[in-house]
Chain A
Amino acid sequence: MIRAENIVKTFGSQEVLRDISFTFDDGKTNLIIGKSGAGKTVFLKILVGLLQPTSGAVWFDDIDVCCISKEQHRELRMQIGMLFQGNALFDSLTVEENIRFPMDMFTTRTAKEKLKQVDYCLERVSLEGINDKYPSEISGGMQKRVGIARAIVLNPKYLFCDEPNSGLDPKTAITIDDLISGITKDNKITTIINTHDMNSVMEIGDNICLLSDGKLAWKGRKEEVLDNDNEVLIDFIFASPFLQRLRSQALSK
């Protein structure tokens, strides 16, 4: 369980997050949703510790991350995998070297064991046999999947994904969503995803928080999204006039 407690974050005079408290459930696909610029990335980076909150606390189970030693912090980070919005694959390394990197750095496994784990992770994301390609030689969707493979290579307890399907076509985006939620279930990990994609919300949102203007505007499960009257949520979900027409037709029936 990861718990955000009264998180406030300001950059200069700009208040990006205003007093956000939310609990992310273990073994579930947790979503942080909201429009572009709502503060999703900043919130996610505060949760993983890449940014420090101006005030408030982040708890991993019963550990307050602000107050642990550097050593403990590194240990915690070993249990975290993260997929970045721009993949953050190292472009001078091959796919295999990218996925192997955390193992090279932190384990004493033999080359054979490492290769086995690389191949296992690549198979998990349905990308067998591209070991020797460079990130620039594969498509955006494949890069995302390699990013996922790298994130799960050390069997993390927590998986963080920043906009995993931005920039992908709808079909590929759904594949990525299925992949992440499948990994979450199979490996019993706690996943937190940033997204503004409605398909993701409706398909994989076990536990959702909606950010708007730096505030927590709504929280709930995907089953609760459609029948509720939270204005911010309705405005976010039925963003286009087309969807609004569909909604009013459905309501008037």
Chain B
Amino acid sequence: MQLIRDLGKFIAWLPDIFSKPENWGMYYKETVRQMYDIGIGSMSIVMLISGFIGAVTAIQFSYQLSGGFIPDYYIGYIVRDIMIIEMAATLTCIVLAGKVGSTMAAEIGGMRQKEHIDAMEIMGVNTSSYLVLPKLIASVIVIPLLVTIALIVGIAGGYIAATYVAGLTPVEFEKGLRFLFDPYNVVMMYVKAITFSLIITSVACFQGYFVSGGSIELGQASTRAVVFGSINILIADLIIALLLMG
């Protein structure tokens, strides 16, 4: 019930967000600031996680494949496809829903509680637009870039693990990387990345913008941004998989 009411409120909110900016320069500045915050702020965690996932995938599969009929170079193939199809986009965005989502919700919610939003409204600023649109644009640009980085670092992690731990030669791993490559999966990865960035940002901004009460409510809003963001990402992941693979 609450969910349906929130959804209605969110849809009613959209026209305000996408109304014409009063000053392009200020929006541009805010977008750049957000891009910097999201991108630089999350780079290391994204690299760390994807590198480990790539490495663990390589080690696990080399163990499973050892002594079987499947050739060793399949490890490169598996690492590549697991990263492209699922890990790079979905895992990165789940992590970002935690990191970026909670920060955004807390930032906007804090502005609501400290009357910053009221102050801007009184000046005549369309706060729905000014506080949300730059974040949406920034995340749609930066998060797919982070996903790309996750993909590269993940494969690098797989490469290091496969060659140093599992005893593959670099040539074999590379052969695996080229094996049965379908560019369509890469397109799908970016479709997911863009969809998930929209989800992370809009859920977080919604939770922050309509917060009321005090610091306990602010914490709850931040938590909801993470939980609802992650759940929605998983649901969207499933829908995209069904639509684009079917």
**A binding-site residues for B, Cβ under 8 Å:** 45, 48, 50, 74-75, 77-78, 80-82, 84-86, 88, 90-91, 101-102, 104-106, 154, 160
Contact = CB atoms under 8 A, between A and B. Distances in A.
Contacts of A88: 114-116, 118-119
Interface of B: 22-23, 25-26, 114-116, 118-119, 121-126
In the A-B complex, the 5 residue pairs with the closest CB atoms? A88-B119, A77-B124, A88-B115, A82-B122, A74-B124
Contacts of B122: 48, 50, 77, 80-82, 160
Contacts of A78: 123-124
A105 B22 contact: yes
Contacts of A48: 122
Nearest to B113: A86
A106 B119 contact: no
A189 to B, nearest CB: 15
Given A105-B26, A106-B23, A90 B116 contact: yes
A184 B98 CA distance: 49
Contacts of B25: 104
A75 to B, nearest CB: 8
A104 B121 contact: no
B123 A106 contact: yes
A86 to B, nearest CB: 6
B123 A84 contact: no
Contacts of A81: 122
Nearest to A91: B114
Contacts of A86: 114-115
Contacts of A84: 115, 118-119
Given A88-B115, A104-B25, 8 more contacts: A45-B118, A50-B118, A77-B124, A78-B123, A88-B118, A104-B26, A105-B123, A154-B123
A177 to B, nearest CB: 21
A77 B126 CA distance: 11
A106 B115 contact: no
Nearest to A151: B122
A172 B227 CA distance: 47
Nearest to B107: A92
Contacts of B114: 86, 88, 91
Contacts of A91: 114
